[in-house]
Amino acid sequence: MIGGWRSAAGVFAVSVLVLALSSPAQAAAGTRTTAPAHSSSGSPPTAPTAPTGQWITAAGWASAPVVGGASPVALPILAKDFSVKAGLVSASLSISGEGVYSATIDGAPVSPAVLEPGYSVDTRAYYSTYDITALVANNSSHRIGVQLGSGIWAEATSPGRYSKLSHVAGPVAVNATLTLSYGDGTSGSVATDPTWQATTGPTTVADWYGGEDFDNGRVTPGWQQPGTTLATWSTAVIAAMPPGLRLTAKIGPPIIEQDTVTSVGITQPAPGVYVVDFGRQVGGWPVLHVSGPAGTRVKLTPTEVVSASTGLVNSSSFAGLYDSYTLSGSASAVQTWHPQFVYHGFRYVQLEGMPSPPTPATLSAIDLSTDTDAAGSFNSSDPTLTTLHSLTSRAITNNSMSVLTDCPDREKLGWLEEVHLVFDALAAHQNLGYQQPGVAGTYGQRIEHIIADSQTPAGLIPDTAPEYTVFPGGFRDDVNWGGTLVQMPWDLYRSYGDATTMSTYYPNMQRYLNYLNGQLGRGGTGLIGTALGDWFTEAKGPNGTGYALNNALIENVGLYNALTTMANIGRVLGRPDVAVWSARAAALAAAINSRWLTPTGDYGPDQASNAVPLAAGIVPAAQIASTRTALLTSITAAGGRFKLGEISIGPMLTALSAMGRDDIAYQAVISTAGRGYGAIAASGATALTEGWGGAADGASQDHFMLGAVDSWMSQDIAGLKQSVGSVDWANLTITPQLITGMTSASATHITDRGTIRVAWSRPDATADAAVTIDLPAGTTATVVLPSGTSQIGAGRSLLSTGPQTTWTTVLPRPQILVYSIGYNNALYTTVNGRITYLTAAVWAAAGYPKPVRLNSTYTRYSFGPAVYAVTNFPAVTAALVESVSYAGWRQAGFPKVVVATRLITNSTVTQWDGDPAVILRNPDGTFQHLSAAQWTALGRPTLLRFPNQRWVALAGGPTILLLTNFSAGIGHVATLSEWTAAGRPTALTHQILHGSTWIIHAGNPQIYLQLPASAPIPITFAEWTAAGRPRPTVV
């Protein structure tokens, strides 16, 4: 059957993108070289290539649906038969869809990814390329099938269904190319066009917010299998897609099925009505297993809560949010179905129309979440803290979809403030910034890409990204939301060493901060105006309006934080406008203090007004003590509780920690006297809630915006905190807080170097504690305990907080695998799934284990002499690809070199605008022209297109060139003033430029680079070395 069909065999051959590095030095910079995490075929990975078909759909869907109007009878399904001849080497499918697509080969999913392609702005269509070699066979016929759903792309608001918003960008459609490559050098392809067969299928409604309806009686039996006649189907039609739609390779990991959840109870609150309880919040799908008479319609209503008085679906579940399944066929056959074009947030599912009472086997659930690696843990002797960590983790998991959403039920929108306010908790839960096996880009990079894509022409960053609807006022334009554009890249750099994201989106950040600069004066001299402020404060109940806060102050400090972060980014990148951002931040700080710093040396009586400036570092030195006193006084006046919103809770915890008053923070966090974290933990909630009252609130029961407490627990209570100024966890400052009443706390964090662990424990709440610290190679720490301060390095350190502390560091020999390769003398190892050079120090520390010699295969193109070695490592499944010199080939014993019949890994073919030439970029970064015959011999791989004018930096040196015709190598050396006048754009680094020659004048040792139509350019020795020391021509 179709709908939520699941493969019993579980054969998934996935290849979103494999990044094979040209050197382990690049691997050491943070890029992994591993094969697809879900590949089970053993097939070579496939780099993403854009589909080249037409956008097609079924009749009735050729144009965009009308909001609130009559919709086609059902959603499209499409199919195309194809044949495979003998000698197949590889098969791949490049596919994009607008709406939601699900693709199969002979009924088997091409990927474990679901809800593809995910969120995007209306002018962009993400595509993925899947290795489907394991799904097809030689000398056989096959069928590709595609099912389409509306998604949020075509959220036209179905009659009678709940909808948060209406958003229609165009018709649902698919664009795909299936490519077959054979050993004899030939290839074949199948692309979407009007020869495909199409119909409207059994999914009759797929409303992103309102739910999905499926009529099994509308299924064409065997439609996914080759040879099945589709006589009642029509041919596909061309979809009228919006103009300017851009195909872009998908960034970051996909959403996949995670865990299967079983029910914990079933009630019958009314005749014929049953409520299934899963015991916790789920972000995903209910799965129905049912038998009964054909035509029976079962209605499934997912909900986070049920009415305490009736046991039925509570009104907070939003009327009109439900799924339905209509049975067909034999009454005794068990039919299994789940929605596949929508998802829900729920703990309970109300069943109506059941042909017989449900049993525990009738309904299960599937968790869905983005396929990120786990990143850490927290545990403690305090049940409230441990519960809060569990609740936060569940809420993050359930909201980690194609973007980080606010809640998985009523909104499913990418509200941005949570991303940077709770970043440390997010990064402690899942990998946001390390390259994952077989994935192009990271989850964090995808989120930043979508944020930048959502920027308006004026420079504004909306509060939600993508911006599927325009909200009014502060719900669209608030710096604590839009400022994520600036904060996210800095967080990715700080936590993962990712400088690329900062550089890529620096122009977007400039535009946004310049836009905000134009808003100054609206809130008074040198100040911006008020927007949302400290959203959803502690005092705000289900129907409350909150209490007075200085929201204007909070807005302006939010801008100050963005400006100071921008200055930090500029310093790291070496940008010339650092002084601009620093000056603006200083002026804004002066304006804030002039407006709100009182004669008594504080910012007012409420907690947020003092916590936020303290955490931002905006308080003048002379007033820090008085502001801290005012903050402590406000907490005491509130009975030791926090009265804060989501913007100020993080700064409050930061400010108290800086004061050495984590004890006060702890008491406020665990307090159950009123609304707060303690109330949430004690309320029976199973995920972090939106409201401070926990499960008792009518707000979302699955919302991580208050999750800043989770990073405070790991960093301050357990003590696992990265040092200020450290990047990628190279150095930590470990200061565990031995809170009165607690006997233990521990935290772990997984980095690319390895796992960091800090744990302390003591026999009772007043005794000295034993502290255990595990640091991976390349990591150091400053440990601050009541008994003293010490510097420690890699290994396990055992310490005590007692007065007679002996600082003992136990350094076990690292258990590493060492590898050698035949064509050089380097040693290699693998760290967390990536290949890296092995340093002499690490090898020595490991006791000089004997290297394992790895075999390489050697290949070259038929039209070039360069030889490349492809080496597979046992710990990773992608290959290391490096160019091999003659000396290296000789050292390896003159192995056989195979002529490549397709692109060698890490090669690309490109065209530059206005130039018909096809350029091959080799794995070593060199370029060469390809003739039409050479391009054809490689299977006519997809061309990547780039603008022909670009700024280029020569590898190894300071020279920057402005190439007005990059493909021909025409340009000149850029002067500093010329580069500065252009805004110092990022220069792409190249070792060798096409069309260039190297020359040397007789009797003069200076080497020059000669570009076409340009004077010779003097080259440094380092630049010449980076280019491979090519032999210069004597002139």
- Nearest C-alpha neighbor of 341 from the set 184, 160, 209: 209
Instruction: State the chain's mean pLDDT as an integer.
Output: 86
- Nearest C-alpha neighbor of 290 from the set 323, 322, 338, 258: 338
Q: Yes or no: say if 957 and 1022 are a contact pair by the CB < 8 Å rule.
A: yes
Q: How far apart are CA 523 and CA 552, in angstroms?
A: 7
Position with higher pLDDT, 37 vs 961: 961
**Which CATH number is associated with domain 731-810?**
2.60.420.10
Helix (H, G, I), strand (E, B) or coil at 756: strand
Q: How far apart are CA 803 and CA 858, in angstroms?
A: 62
- Lowest average pLDDT, out of 309-318, 393-402, 491-500, 928-937, goes to 309-318
Position with higher pLDDT, 406 vs 804: 406
CB atoms closer than 10 angstroms to residue 733: 17
- Lowest average pLDDT, out of 31-40, 276-285, 425-434, goes to 31-40
Q: Yes or no: say if 414 and 464 are a contact pair by the CB < 8 Å rule.
A: yes
* Average confidence (pLDDT) over 402-413: 95
Q: How far apart are CA 448 and CA 131, in angstroms?
A: 27
* Average confidence (pLDDT) over 176-194: 94
Instruction: Examine domains 257-370 and 376-718 and report if their fold is the same.
Output: no
Q: What is the pLDDT of residues 879-935, one digit of tens each?
A: 888 888 877 877 887 788 888 888 888 888 877 666 677 888 788 767 777 888 888
Supply 929's token pair.
Answer: 């022209």
Q: Yes or no: say if 731 and 781 are a contact pair by the CB < 8 Å rule.
A: yes
pTM, rounded to two decimals = 0.78
CB atoms closer than 10 angstroms to residue 126: 24
Q: Would you say domain 376-718 falls under CATH 1.10.3720.10?
A: no
Find the length of the chain. 1035
Q: How far apart are CA 142 and CA 83, in angstroms?
A: 6
Residue 589 pLDDT > 90, yes or no? yes
Q: How far apart are CA 903 and CA 922, in angstroms?
A: 9
CB atoms closer than 10 angstroms to residue 815: 8
Supply 982's token pair.
Answer: 């252009």
The share of the chain scoring above pLDDT 70, in percent, equals 87
* Average confidence (pLDDT) over 484-512: 97
Residue 82 pLDDT > 50, yes or no? yes
The pLDDT, as a whole number, for residue 128 is 94
Classified by CATH at the fold level, domain 257-370 comes out as Jelly Rolls (2.60.120)
Classified by CATH at the fold level, domain 24-253 comes out as Jelly Rolls (2.60.120)
Position with higher pLDDT, 842 vs 563: 563
762 HSE (CA, 13 A, CB side): 18
The pLDDT, as a whole number, for residue 28 is 27
Q: Yes or no: say if 478 and 462 are a contact pair by the CB < 8 Å rule.
A: no
Q: What is the pLDDT of residues 726-774, one digit of tens each?
A: 999 999 999 999 999 899 999 999 998 888 999 999 998 888 899 999 9
Q: For the chain, how are helix, strand and coil distributed in percent, rounded to 5?
A: 25, 30, 50
Considering just the CA atoms, what is the radius of gyration of the chain in Å? 30
Q: How far apart are CA 1009 and CA 1028, in angstroms?
A: 13
Report the C-alpha dihedral over residues 414, 419, 421, 422, rounded to 10 degrees.
110
Confidence label for 875 from pLDDT (cuts 50, 70 and 90): confident
Q: What are the sequence ranges of the domains in the chain?
A: 24-253, 257-370, 376-718, 731-810, 908-1034
The pLDDT, as a whole number, for residue 190 is 97
Q: Which residues contact 831 (CB under 8 A, 6 or more apart)?
A: 752, 753, 754
- Nearest C-alpha neighbor of 98 from the set 58, 62, 79, 125: 125
The distance from CA 389 to its chain's CA centroid, rounded to whole angstroms, is: 21
Q: What is the pLDDT of residues 899-909, one digit of tens each?
A: 888 888 888 88
Helix (H, G, I), strand (E, B) or coil at 418: helix
Supply 193's token pair.
Answer: 């066009």
- Lowest average pLDDT, out of 95-99, 314-318, 1005-1009, goes to 314-318
- Nearest C-alpha neighbor of 381 from the set 720, 718, 708, 801: 718
Q: Yes or no: say if 367 and 284 are a contact pair by the CB < 8 Å rule.
A: yes
Max intra-chain CA distance, the chain: 101
State phi, psi for 857 to the nearest 5 degrees: -105, 150
